[in-house]
Amino acid sequence: MSRQEALSLSNPSRRHFHVACFAVLFLAACGSRGKRPDGALSVGPKITDLPPTEQGREVVFYALSLLDTGYRFGGKNPQAGFDCSGMVSYIYAQAAGVKVGGSAAEIARQGAPIGRNQLRPGDLVFFNTLNRPFSHVGIYIGDNRFIHAPSTNGQVRIDDLGSRYFAERFEASRTYFD
């Protein structure tokens, strides 16, 4: 890579463009069901995506730019690291200008309930991961996948709603967009 190419990638608007291009390709990818690349079986139902809102699209693009950011309990920004609710609050504020806050359970109470079959990219998905309702939250990105900040493996990552672990713990979905 030339010095000029490296400098152009460090430009925030250029970097945002590259992330957006990656996200479009990622969201447009054909998702197969059955055995996942990691060898695990998808056991949950496949979701047929509804078209995203403009705000939802921006949330997904911004969330994808934070992949591999470190986990930190109570973390609320990329420099400190994120926990699940801190990640959601930060991304919604930065990408969509929507203020959400508090724990995953508090965020769930603030959003409008939607069915799993009504999920659009940018909506929120909630799980019972600590033997208490709404203890984990992620952002749905499309094709049955969501991005979240799990404490396990310590980085913002993408997982499949149909994986055994998350299918068994899925509780609800919420939207903040019309």
Mean pLDDT lowest among 16-25, 146-155, 164-173: 16-25
Band of pLDDT at residue 178, cut at 50, 70 and 90: confident
**Which has more confidence, 123 or 7?**
123
Q: Predicted confidence band at 26 (pLDDT cuts at 50, 70, 90)?
A: very low
Predicted confidence at residue 50, as pLDDT, reads: 83
Active site residues per annotation = 84, 136, 148
CA 56 – CA 125 distance, rounded (Å): 13
Tens of pLDDT, residues 138-166: 999 999 999 999 998 899 999 999 999 99
How many other CB atoms sit within 10 Å of the CB of residue 91? 26
Segment 73-85 shows an average pLDDT of 96
What does the alpha-carbon distance between residue 60 and residue 64 come to, in Å, rounded to a whole number? Answer: 6
Q: What does the pLDDT read at residue 158? A: 98
What is the H or E stretch that residue 146 is in? strand 145-148
* C-alpha to C-alpha distances, 174 to 84, 98, 116, 149, 178, nearest whole angstrom: 15, 14, 9, 18, 11
Report which of 145, 103, 102 is spatially closest to residue 122, judged by C-alpha positions. 145
Q: Centre a 10 Å sphere on the Cβ of residue 113 and count the other Cβ atoms it contains.
A: 10
Beginning with the edge strand found earlier in the chain, give each strand of the sheet holding 112-114 in spatial order. Answer: 112-114, 170-175, 124-127, 136-142, 145-148, 157-160
27-72 pLDDT, tens digit each: 444 333 344 444 444 455 566 678 889 999 999 999 999 999 999 9
pLDDT of residue 169: 97
Of all residues in the chain, what percent carry a pLDDT higher than 70?
73
Residue 74 has pLDDT above 90, yes or no: yes
| Cα dist from 117 to 73, 98, 114, 132, whole Å | 31, 23, 8, 24
pLDDT value at position 69? 97
Q: Which residue has the higher pLDDT, 96 or 46?
A: 96
Mean pLDDT value across residues 63-88: 97
**Which class in CATH covers the domain with range 43-175?**
alpha beta
- Mean per-residue pLDDT over the chain, rounded: 82
- What does the domain layout of the chain look like in residue ranges? 43-175
The yes-or-no verdict on residue 129 having pLDDT over 90 is yes
User: What is the H or E stretch that residue 127 is in?
Assistant: strand 124-127
